[in-house]
């Protein structure tokens, strides 16, 4: 057993209001600069939808993530090392700027400086932020917001469902999916990097791109099935979500988490066995990946684990934080958080609580038991979001696993309704979901009351580590490639070749 700690995140999609504040605060802090105009380390998608970049979940097209080879061994979908190197100068599995979107800016200073005698009021027209040329805006970072457009019909997860769903008014459903880098336990991007520039930090699992070492091959972009590594088109280098490591090191939550208005993000430590990762990522049946990944996680309340952690040199503060970790509770104890697309086999470390939704057929449901006005909730089988659809996102198609989570959320609500209105304990509900009253009430507190210090349990970097990190920060002196238009790395989107 090789014990390690990872700072992980859970997002409760059932609380996400789709406001995109996370995207804005992240972008304002990290990527509002030349070269990263189109880059959103954090973005929020409306589901169903094809996402950002377009169809990123379609790995037949993009070849992201891992597969098992014929011998059952884990291998990058984009091929072995030799194959990847052969394509190093012409990678066909790379999204173009149009797959993201061409960022727009608008005429500068035209309103104030407009000359006299115009026939009409002045107006600012869109121009490409990349070329400065006038442009028509035809796609965006969030084009499908709140089901805008009809591209949602092409959502790969819908296509995979056995039950065909037509997107129409009467059957409308939607939810929002905020996404950052998954900081995977088995990151495909890291493995695909020919330069060794990408790495997963040993102490907290954060996946980073060493800007000094990056040579701009962009294999990471292809390999990441979540398309969360981007090319800075000014430097030619890869950039990605850093999990706000300068804040995490100081014990502060990431910006996307702290500014999350829906209060749906949780951050905390997960302990895991590094030696078990490969086997977990290699289980044959994709539907077993969820349990396999859970099995990699270690319970810090287990004295054996605690001892092992201490022996491995983990600071006490981190071990205590792991015990209090909301991530551990949501993933392992209450088991209501699920990984996004476990079938990519990267063992992602940003997990999600799937959303409830309104009843689908209100008229039909209205006819159920009109006599009992106290029976106010619907069964989870009646909800609008097809369980099959959620299963395509979170359980490699295992509908029972998703239904089990929704059942817990629904039972918690019914249980708490009795507690709130009558002060009674609905034992039958507890029995149905196999939880104790204490567990359900603790889960309720974590999801509903959700105090700041319960959402974010982040130990500061251990003092000596922090000093080391500071020392690292001080000595930086630039690199040959990170200047604007560095050698061979300019124009990664071939904008100059466009008509």
Partner 1 sequence: MRETVGDRGRTLHQYDGAWDAFYRDRWRYDKVVRSTHGVNCTGSCSWNVFVKDGLITWEHQATDYPTTGPDSPDYEPRGCPRGASFSWYEYSPSRVRHSYVRGVLAEMFREARQRLGDPVLAWAEIVETPLKSQAYKSQRGRGGFVRASWDEAIEMIAAAHVYTTKTYGPDRVVGFSPIPAMSMASFAAGTRYHALLGGTLLSFYDWYADLPVASPQIWGDQTDVPEAGDWWNATYLMMWGSNIPVTRTPDAHFLAEARYRGTKVVAISPDYADNVKFADDWLAPHPGTDGALAMAMGHVVLTEFFRDRPVPYFLDYVRKYTDLPFLVTLRNTGDAWAADRFLTAADLGEANGEHKTVLLDAATGEPVVPNGSLGFRYADDGEGRWNLDLGDVVPVVGLDPAGETVEVDLARFDTGETEGGTTIRRGVPIRWIAGHPVTTVFDLVMAQYGVRRGDLPGEWPAGYDDADAPNTPAWQEKITGVPAALAARIGRELARNAERSHGRSMIVLGAGANQWFHSDMTYRALISLVTLTGCQGVNGGGWAHYVGQEKARPVTGQQHLSFAFDWQRPMRHQAATPFWYLHTDQWRYERVPADELSSPLGTGRFAGMAFADTVAAAQRMGWTPGHPFFNRNPLDLTDEAAAAGRPVAEHIVAELRAGRLGAVADDPDDPANFPRCLTLWRANLLGSSGKGNEYFMRHLLGVEGSATAAECEPAQRPRDVAWRDEAPVGKLDLLTAIDFRMTNTGLHADVVLPAATWYEKNDISTTDMHPFVHAFSPAVEPPGDAHTDYDTFLALADKVSELAVDHLGVRRDVLAVPLQHDTPDELATPSGRVRDWRDGECELIPGRTMPKLIEMERDYTLLGAKMRTVGPLLDKLGTTTKAITVDVGPEIEYLKHRNGVIDGRPSLATAIGMCEAILALSGTTNGRVARAGFAALEKRTGQPFTDLIAGHEDDRITYAQTQDAPQPVFTSPEWSGSEKGGRRYSPFTLNVERLKPWHTITGRQHFFVEHDWVAELGEQLPAFRPPLNMARHFGKPGDAVDGGVTVRFLTPHAKWSVHSMYHDNELMLALSRGGPVIWMSVPDAAKIGVRDNDWIEAHNRNGVVVARAVVSHRMPEGTVFQYHSPERTVNVPKAEKSKRRGGYHNSMTRLLVKPTHLAGGHAQLTYAFNYYGPIGSQRDEITVIRRRTQEVEY
Task: Scan residues 189-228 and list those touching partner 1 (CB under 8 A).
Answer: 190-192, 196, 199-203, 208, 210-213
Q: Which of 350, 293, 309 is nearest to 327 (CA)?
A: 350
Nearer to partner 1 among residue 71 and residue 303 (C-beta): 71
CA distance 431 to 438: 13
Does position 435 interact with partner 1 (CB under 8 A)? The reply is no
Does position 157 interact with partner 1 (CB under 8 A)? The reply is no
CA distance 439 to 442: 5
CA distances from 332 to 180, 335, 443, 448 (A): 21, 5, 12, 19
Nearer to partner 1 among residue 260 and residue 407 (C-beta): 260
Inter-axis angle of helices 399-422 and 437-444, to 10 degrees?
Answer: 90
- Name residue 126's beta-bridge partners: 106
Does position 99 interact with partner 1 (CB under 8 A)? The reply is no
Per-residue binding letters, 132-151, with partner 1 (x by CB under 8 A): -----xx-xxxx-xxxxxxx
Query: CB 142 → partner 1: shortest distance, Å?
Result: 5
Does position 163 interact with partner 1 (CB under 8 A)? The reply is no
Which of 423, 472, 496, 499 binds partner 1 (CB under 8 A)? It is 472
Q: What token pair was written down for 84?
A: 């990847």
Query: CB 303 → partner 1: shortest distance, Å?
Result: 26
CA distance 65 to 83: 15
The bridge status of strand 350-353 relative to strand 3-12 is parallel
CA distance 371 to 392: 37
Q: How far apart are the first and last CA of the chain?
A: 57
Does position 381 interact with partner 1 (CB under 8 A)? The reply is no
Per-residue binding letters, 108-127, with partner 1 (x by CB under 8 A): xxxxxxxxxxxxxxxxxxx-
Q: Are 13 and 352 in contact (CB under 8 A)?
A: yes
Nearer to partner 1 among residue 18 and residue 156 (C-beta): 18
Does position 418 interact with partner 1 (CB under 8 A)? The reply is yes
Q: Are 162 and 202 in contact (CB under 8 A)?
A: no
Does position 358 interact with partner 1 (CB under 8 A)? The reply is yes
Burial 176-195 (b: 16+ CB within 10 A, else e): bbbbbbbbbbbbbbbbbbeb
Does position 261 interact with partner 1 (CB under 8 A)? The reply is yes
Q: How many residues bind partner 1 (CB under 8 A)?
A: 139
Query: CB 14 → partner 1: shortest distance, Å?
Result: 7
Query: CB 136 → partner 1: shortest distance, Å?
Result: 9
Does position 154 interact with partner 1 (CB under 8 A)? The reply is no
Does position 106 interact with partner 1 (CB under 8 A)? The reply is yes
Does position 290 interact with partner 1 (CB under 8 A)? The reply is no
Does position 79 interact with partner 1 (CB under 8 A)? The reply is no
295, exposed or middle or buried, with CB in 10 Å at 0-12, 13-18, 19+?
A: middle
Query: CB 334 → partner 1: shortest distance, Å?
Result: 13
Helix (H/G/I), strand (E/B), else coil: 73: coil
Does position 263 interact with partner 1 (CB under 8 A)? The reply is yes
Nearer to partner 1 among residue 281 and residue 319 (C-beta): 281
Which of 373, 438, 496, 499 binds partner 1 (CB under 8 A)? It is 373
């Amino acid at each position: 057993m090789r014990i390690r700690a990872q700072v992980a995140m859970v997002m409760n999609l059932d609380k996400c209001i789709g406001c995109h504040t996370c995207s804005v605060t992240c972008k304002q802090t990290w990527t509002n600069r030349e070269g990263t105009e189109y880059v959103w380390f954090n973005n929020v998608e409306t589901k169903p939808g094809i996402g950002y970049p377009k169809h990123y979940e379609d790995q037949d097209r993009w070849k992201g993530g891992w597969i098992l080879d014929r011998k059952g061994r884990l291998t990058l979908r984009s091929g072995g090392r030799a194959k990847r190197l052969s394509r190093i100068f012409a990678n066909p599995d790379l999204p173009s700027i149009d797959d993201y979107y061409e960022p727009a800016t608008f005429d500068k200073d035209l309103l104030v400086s407009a000359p006299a005698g115009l026939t009409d009021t002045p107006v600012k027209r869109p121009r490409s932020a990349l070329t400065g040329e006038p442009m028509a805006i035809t796609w965006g970072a969030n084009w499908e917001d709140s089901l805008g457009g009809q591209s949602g019909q092409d959502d790969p997860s819908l296509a995979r469902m056995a039950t065909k769903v037509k997107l129409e008014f009467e059957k409308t459903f939607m939810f929002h999916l905020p996404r950052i880098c998954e900081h995977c336990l088995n990151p495909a991007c890291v493995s695909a990097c020919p330069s060794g520039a990408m790495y997963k930090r040993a102490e907290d699992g954060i996946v980073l791109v060493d800007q000094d070492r990056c040579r701009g091959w962009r294999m990471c972009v292809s390999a990441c099935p979540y398309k969360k590594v981007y090319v800075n088109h000014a430097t030619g280098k890869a950039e990605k979500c850093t999990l706000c490591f300068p804040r995490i090191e100081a014990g502060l939550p990431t910006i996307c988490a702290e500014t999350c208005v829906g209060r749906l993000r949780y951050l905390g430590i997960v302990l895991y066995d590094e030696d078990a990762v490969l086997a977990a990522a290699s289980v044959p049946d994709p539907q077993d990946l969820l349990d396999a990944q859970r099995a990699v996680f270690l319970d810090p309340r287990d004295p054996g684990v605690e001892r092992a952690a201490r022996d491995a040199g983990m600071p006490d503060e981190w071990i205590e934080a792991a015990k209090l970790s909301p991530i551990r509770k949501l993933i392992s104890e209450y088991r209501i958080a699920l990984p996004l697309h476990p079938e990519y086999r990267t063992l992602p470390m940003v997990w999600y609580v799937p959303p409830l939704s309104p009843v689908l057929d209100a008229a039909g449901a209205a006819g159920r038991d009109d006599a009992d006005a106290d029976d106010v909730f619907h069964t989870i089988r009646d909800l609008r979001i097809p369980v099959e659809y959620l299963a395509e996102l979170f359980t490699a198609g295992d509908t029972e696993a998703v239904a089990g989570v929704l059942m817990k959320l629904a039972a918690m609500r019914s249980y708490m309704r009795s507690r709130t209105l009558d002060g009674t304990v609905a034992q039958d509900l507890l029995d149905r979901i196999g939880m104790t009253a204490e567990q359900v009430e603790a889960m309720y507190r974590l999801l509903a009351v959700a105090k700041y210090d319960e959402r974010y349990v982040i130990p500061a970097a251990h003092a000596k580590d922090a000093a080391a990190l500071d020392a690292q920060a001080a000595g930086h002196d630039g690199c040959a490639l990170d200047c604007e238009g560095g050698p061979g790395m300019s124009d990664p989107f071939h904008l100059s070749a466009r008509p």
